[in-house]
């Protein structure tokens, strides 16, 4: 992938207490000719909230809200709302994120989910609906909804460590048919644990899923897999080599070193944009032509 020469595209702002320490992992959605980003921000109180920014070209930030647009509201997420992912489906946007609370000095994290009308989102009317836990009490994260129903049901990729798993639902409330899709591979860059990035992308060959892989040295990489269109629990192809690795200083040094971690990806004019956090400290973007990426499948 080609990194944007202007990386990082978002950095902390000292004058905003809620985003003064780290600004990183962002959900991305392309609506009304611009990229909308919901990014994770950590401030002086060490609690994650979600900020909002936009870009017309996918690289340069044109607008950035001075206040968070999504904050913790319940006991299950009182210590942070983390790593957002956005999917547009049925005229709405589904937001999945990690709900965090500290309990007896331990981190308790679960998947949480809410929705918002697409028009409200574009108008910056933050009318988020009820927040639900798809798997109450289960330590789980890295969840994202497919942008189309599959077999008449909603589908979700998520991570029960160390695997990427799938689940299905009729109503976005009750989830079933949970199964592993793929797990770590020995002697590779993703041999410890893996997790999906942004929403899977529909291509001619199936579903293109960007994912992160972590090795035993705790280094994070990005790769991709191709899932069967009608049965995405079946993996048709999985890249052997990573497509992005920590190399630049803003990826190697920070709150957590050697991290490229993505929660948002979009396509503009057959160009794949992947938004990722560098070292859990700043937000960056990298691109690659869709044809170039998919050509490796046919080699």
Q: Which residue has the tokens 């920014």?
A: 53
CA separation for the pair 21, 139 (Å, rounded): 26
Q: For the whole model, what pTM was predicted? A: 0.97
**What was the pLDDT predicted at 106?**
83
Residue 27 lies in domain: 2-298
- Output phi, psi for 213, to 5 deg: -130, 145
**What was the pLDDT predicted at 125?**
97
Determine the straight-line distance between the first and last CA of the chain, rounded to whole angstroms.
18
Q: Yes or no: say if 229 and 191 are a contact pair by the CB < 8 Å rule.
A: no
Task: Using pLDDT thresholds of 50, 70 and 90, give the confidence band for residue 44.
Answer: very high
Task: Over range 251-278, report the average pLDDT.
Answer: 98
Task: Using pLDDT thresholds of 50, 70 and 90, give the confidence band for residue 289.
Answer: very high
Distance of CA 190 to the CA centre of its chain: 17
**What was the pLDDT predicted at 245?**
98
% of the chain residues with pLDDT over 70: 99
Q: Is the pLDDT of residue 15 over 70?
A: yes
Q: Is the pLDDT of residue 297 over 90?
A: no
- DSSP of 6-32: T--SB---TT-GGGSSEEEEEEEEEET
**What was the pLDDT predicted at 262?**
98
Q: Yes or no: say if 277 and 259 are a contact pair by the CB < 8 Å rule.
A: yes
Q: Is the pLDDT of residue 104 over 80?
A: no
Task: Using pLDDT thresholds of 50, 70 and 90, give the confidence band for residue 107.
Answer: confident
CA separation for the pair 118, 122 (Å, rounded): 6
DSSP H or E run through 194: strand 193-196
**What was the pLDDT predicted at 299?**
61
**What was the pLDDT predicted at 136?**
94
- DSSP of 151-163: TTBEEEEEEETTE
Q: pLDDT averaged over the chain?
A: 96
Q: Is the pLDDT of residue 52 over 90?
A: yes
Task: Over range 160-171, report the average pLDDT.
Answer: 97
Q: Which residue has the tokens 């998919």?
A: 294
Task: Over range 45-61, report the average pLDDT.
Answer: 97
Task: Over range 15-42, report the average pLDDT.
Answer: 97
**What was the pLDDT predicted at 253?**
98
- Short-list 72, 34, 80, 75, CA closest to 53: 34
Per-residue pLDDT tens digits for 181-237? 999 999 999 999 999 999 999 999 999 999 999 999 999 999 999 999 999 999 999
Which tokens in the block code for residue 188? 């590779």
Task: Over range 119-136, report the average pLDDT.
Answer: 96
CA separation for the pair 164, 271 (Å, rounded): 25
Looking up residue 235, the CATH number of its domain turns out to be: 2.115.10.20
Q: Into how many domains does the chain fold? A: 1
**What was the pLDDT predicted at 103?**
80
Task: Using pLDDT thresholds of 50, 70 and 90, give the confidence band for residue 29.
Answer: very high
Task: Over range 55-79, report the average pLDDT.
Answer: 97
The neighbour count for residue 74, using CB atoms within 10 Å, is 11
């Amino acid at each position: 992938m080609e990194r944007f020469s202007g990386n990082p595209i978002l950095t902390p702002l000292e004058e905003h207490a809620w985003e003064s320490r780290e600004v990183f992992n962002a959900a991305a959605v392309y609506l009304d000719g611009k990229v909308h980003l919901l990014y994770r921000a950590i401030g002086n109180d060490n609690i994650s909230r979600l900020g909002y920014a936009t870009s017309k070209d996918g690289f340069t930030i044109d607008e950035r809200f001075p206040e968070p647009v999504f904050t913790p509201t319940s006991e299950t997420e009182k210590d942070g709302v983390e790593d957002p992912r956005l999917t547009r489906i049925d005229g709405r946007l589904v937001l999945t994120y990690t709900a965090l609370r500290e309990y007896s000095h331990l981190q308790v994290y679960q998947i949480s989910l809410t929705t918002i009308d697409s028009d409200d989102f574009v108008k910056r009317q933050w009318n988020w609906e009820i927040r639900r836990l798809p798997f109450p009490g289960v330590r789980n994260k890295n969840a994202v909804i497919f942008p189309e129903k599959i077999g008449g049901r909603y589908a979700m990729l998520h991570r029960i460590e160390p695997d990427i798993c799938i689940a299905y639902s009729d109503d976005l409330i009750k989830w079933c048919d949970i199964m592993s899709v793929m797990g770590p591979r020995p002697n590779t860059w993703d041999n410890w644990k893996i997790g999906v990035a942004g929403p899977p992308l529909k291509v001619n060959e199936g579903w293109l899923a960007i994912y992160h892989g972590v090795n035993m040295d705790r280094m994070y990489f990005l790769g991709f897999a191709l899932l069967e269109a009608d049965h995405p629990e079946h993996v048709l192809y999985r890249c052997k080599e990573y497509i992005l690795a920590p190399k630049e200083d803003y990826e190697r040094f920070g709150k957590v070193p050697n991290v490229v971690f993505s929660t948002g990806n979009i396509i503009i004019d057959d160009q794949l944009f992947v938004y990722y956090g560098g070292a859990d400290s700043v937000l960056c973007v990298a691109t690659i032509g869709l044809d170039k990426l998919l050509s490796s499948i046919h080699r």
